[in-house]
């Protein structure tokens, strides 16, 4: 099974780029984040025309939003709201009735890495803590579970262009990395991408729009992740980041991340 996760930054604006991703990668499942469209306006028919018989959308107008496109049979569609806010950031289903798939869009956390001074940062940390407590309490580690999405944290020193200069920048601060580590530990997740790409190797999935030449400066961050629980860890066969997509016309600032599982 090939699964691709991508923060598309508006599915309607970039649907032709999605078509190109599907043509080049041929994924069985695509998980999108920041779709920026309510469910009634989601381009479901166009997604089905790409070969995805099952289209699950959970979105709101102009902001956030997640979607699962699957060629595999899906069983049910549920959503989760954390910290009392239904911001359309978490959806889940079962693939072929066996594998639990969670599609996540973690809050970015604003610009100031201080819980007291920045409510958005506090919300990000609380979101991660509530989800971790939930997975731990329900024994998620024992189930065949895949968690994917824009987690908005680059945990490793090699997941950012400069570990030293990024330590006080939201997305790589020690408190965020600790919160993400707790989330990963809550279900004993394996980072599927780093199971293939050595942790010593620099790897990014996001480059700011602010850069005059994103490729030349290469000041990226690995914010997009695919995790699997212990029952699936041995099935990881390949992984990759579609860096070239950042250079396409009118791109998202994120690029697709893909993992192959031998099921």
Residue 64 tokens, joined? 């956030």
Mean pLDDT of the region 161-177 = 98
Give the residue numbers spanning the domain of 88. Answer: 2-261
Taking a C-beta distance cutoff of 8 angstroms, is the pair 102, 90 a contact?
A: yes
Comparing CA positions, the residue from 90, 176, 174 lying closest to residue 125 is 176
- The span from the CA of 116 to the CA of 48, in Å, is 45
Mean pLDDT of the region 175-199 = 98
In 3-state terms the chain splits into helix, strand, coil percentages (rounded to 5) of 30, 25, 40
- The span from the CA of 21 to the CA of 13, in Å, is 14
- Residue 17 has a pLDDT of 98
Structural domain total, the chain = 1
Give 107-122 pLDDT, tens digit per residue.
999 999 999 999 999 9
- Residue 96 has a pLDDT of 87
Whether pLDDT at 97 is above 90: no
Name the percent of the chain lying above pLDDT 90.
99
Neighbours of 71 (CB within 10 A): 18
Supply the CATH number for residue 106's domain: 3.60.10.10
Task: Give the torsion sign (CA, 121, 124, 125, 126).
Answer: positive
Mean pLDDT of the region 120-143 = 98
Mean pLDDT of the region 248-258 = 98
Mean pLDDT of the region 207-232 = 97
Q: Dihedral through CA 13, CA 254, CA 233, CA 146, nearest 10?
A: -40
- Mean pLDDT (the chain) is 98
- Residue 134 has a pLDDT of 98
Neighbours of 140 (CB within 10 A): 19
Mean pLDDT of the region 89-117 = 97
- The span from the CA of 7 to the CA of 181, in Å, is 21
Taking a C-beta distance cutoff of 8 angstroms, is the pair 160, 173 a contact?
A: no
Provide the pLDDT confidence category of residue 158 given band limits of 50, 70 and 90.
very high
- The span from the CA of 171 to the CA of 150, in Å, is 11
């Amino acid at each position: 099974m090939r699964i691709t996760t991508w923060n598309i930054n508006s599915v309607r604006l970039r649907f032709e780029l999605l078509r190109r991703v599907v043509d080049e990668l041929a994924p069985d499942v695509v998980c999108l984040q920041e779709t920026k469209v309510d469910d009634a306006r989601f381009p479901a028919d166009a997604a089905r025309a790409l070969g995805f018989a099952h289209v699950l959308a959970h979105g709101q107008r102009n902001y956030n939003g997640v979607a699962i496109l699957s060629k595999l049979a899906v069983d049910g569609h549920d959503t989760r709201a954390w910290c009392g806010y239904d911001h359309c950031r978490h959806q889940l289903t079962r693939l072929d009735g066996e594998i639990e798939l969670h599609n996540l869009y973690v809050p970015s956390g604003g610009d100031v890495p201080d819980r007291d001074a920045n409510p958005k940062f506090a919300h990000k940390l609380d979101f991660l803590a509530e989800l971790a407590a939930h997975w731990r309490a329900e024994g998620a580690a024992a189930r065949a579970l895949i968690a994917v999405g824009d987690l908005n944290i680059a945990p490793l020193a090699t997941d950012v262009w400069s570990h030293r200069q990024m330590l006080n920048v939201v997305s790589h601060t020690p408190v965020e990395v600790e919160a993400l580590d707790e989330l990963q530990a809550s279900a004993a997740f394996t980072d599927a991408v780093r199971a293939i790409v050595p942790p010593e190797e620099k790897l990014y999935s996001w480059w700011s729009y602010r850069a005059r030449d994103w490729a030349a400066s290469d000041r990226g961050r690995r914010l997009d992740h695919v995790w699997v629980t212990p029952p699936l860890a041995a099935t990881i066969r390949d992984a990759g980041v579609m860096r070239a997509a950042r250079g396409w016309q009118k791109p998202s600032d994120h690029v697709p991340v893909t993992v192959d599982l031998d099921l």
